[in-house]
Chain A
């Protein structure tokens, strides 16, 4: 029926006089979405799909091909091809009628309610969704900035950086050292750095078994720590060493030309250095003036900005409370936001907000674990209300099923984002 209705509208547009269609288009409420990831693509798709042509949706995303950050560690481990992480926006344009613009949003005029693009174009909006993901905090790791990201990749925005990091891992000398500078809280994908270590260890175990992995970590503890440490001991005994804040993990600088890292005054030579700096909301959120510190505070019931009721901030860039910064969270927030925006613009029914998150991580072949929770809006924040986490000592069949479930989830969420 959704499909039929859309087909009907398209047919009507072709048959009826053009001026009438133009007039209808001008009177239509406009939503502009900045960022085509798990938050933005999902929100654009749900608004377009459920408004059945009553809302004009524009999606601004610089990349023609989007590589998901989630599952990119599995490419490092050799469990996925890079192409399997690539997605394009053609279906959102052709099946859902979304106006997909491949450009950078560089300005937001909140009084005039327009978004300016790098090309100079200006797009009017009634409601603006910002889902720009993350940027890195300047000077977070002394010696590192984006100008040296090819020598010391972050690979925390997927694509060429991920490919580069894998090439560096594969080119490591026998018995060499892979170092990771882990980020401070809060950051995108809490278990991500540690899944990455697992996947690099898996790769090195096959191709370079005497290599070492060194994690330099400013945090005392990390998500799923017990599960990861059990897995590292079991699969990669002796390969992985972690230096926490007690031993200087919070006092580190790097020299990209010399390929050295200085940990609390002690200098180490490394062969690959994956620097994951402290993070902040994607730049456009700051440009729009909706950030407070590093992140953009939002209202828990609908993800609208606390600074502007016509702007919504989704995913990693938002500061909402208890939800971790993850693709799953962004996708979940996008649907609540889409329902609220449709209600505001077309008086469709608005249902109560419910949020969910699950993060799967792969430790070794067929050894998957997960952590998840459900969340509800409160006056103060989005609050966690119930959760679960994989247990240490689980049997191999359960771990394999958990991994297979994550593969199914990947298919599900990417279909939910890109149609």
Chain B
């Protein structure tokens, strides 16, 4: 687990225990999840005509603070968890579904938990279909966790690879002009490699702040940053 994943975990879970969040390559199957939802139906409803029953309605759960469904009377335990900052995302739902009482001690939810990570992923994928879709509402909750490219052995083997940097640079040149130019967005061509690496790591760790750059740099591995630096130092080669 890298520093970035750790800080995300702290930010999202705010002190609650955490099972494995769904990584980007492990999204569940919503159709299988629909069948599994049979386990929840006794207490929860979801969909167009859903209402609060024994448990709260599960529409629009992604990105929502826990214990905030209007008109539902929560246990003290859940109210407390919500006010302490528990929010529902793919990772917190995974942890909760694995062991509800471990995450919210004192919850009235009688479900003991779901051991199989794939089943949890399937159920979460099904629930996701009743929350805002990122395709229609780009600001809505992400559906997966970024892959950590530092861990990819194929990329670990690459060092300051300018050809890989040229490919990666296409993400940069949507905004930063490939031929230089400085109009609202700074030029990034012909930088000394070291300066480039320092700047990108500052965005990656968050010590320099800019939402776009923090996001872009955050998912670049060290070798990828080196590759970009090699490419942008001499983009014409």
Contact = CB atoms under 8 A, between A and B. Distances in A.
B175 interface: yes
Given A185-B133, A351-B167, A385-B145, A408 B185 contact: yes
Contact of B136 (A3, A185, A377, A389): A185
Interface string A320-334: 011111001001100
B135 interface: yes
B94 to A, nearest CB: 15
B174 interface: yes
- Chain A CB count within 10 A is highest, among B134, B138, B164, B173, for B138
B179 interface: yes
Interface in A324-364: 324-325, 328, 331-332, 335, 339, 349, 351-352, 354, 356-359
A373 B134 contact: yes
Contact of B179 (A331, A378, A380, A415): A415
A382 to B, nearest CB: 9
Nearest to B166: A50
B168 A373 contact: no
A190 B138 contact: yes
A386 interface: yes
Interface stretch (B25-33, B70-78, B102-110, B193-201): B25-33
B174 A412 contact: yes
B179 A357 contact: no
A335 B142 CA distance: 22
Nearest to B4: A386
Interface in B13-48: 24-29
Contacts of A222: 137
B51 interface: no
B135 A325 contact: yes
B10 to A, nearest CB: 16
Interface string B142-175: 1111110100100100000001101110110111
16 contacts: A186-B133, A223-B138, A322-B135, A332-B171, A352-B149, A354-B171, A372-B138, A373-B215, A378-B27, A383-B24, A386-B215, A386-B218, A387-B139, A387-B215, A405-B185, A408-B183
Interface of B: 24-29, 125, 132-139, 142-147, 149, 152, 155, 163-164, 166-168, 170-171, 173-179, 181, 183-185, 211-212, 214-216, 218-219, 236-237
The 4 nearest A-B residue pairs measured at CB: A408-B184, A408-B185, A388-B211, A404-B184
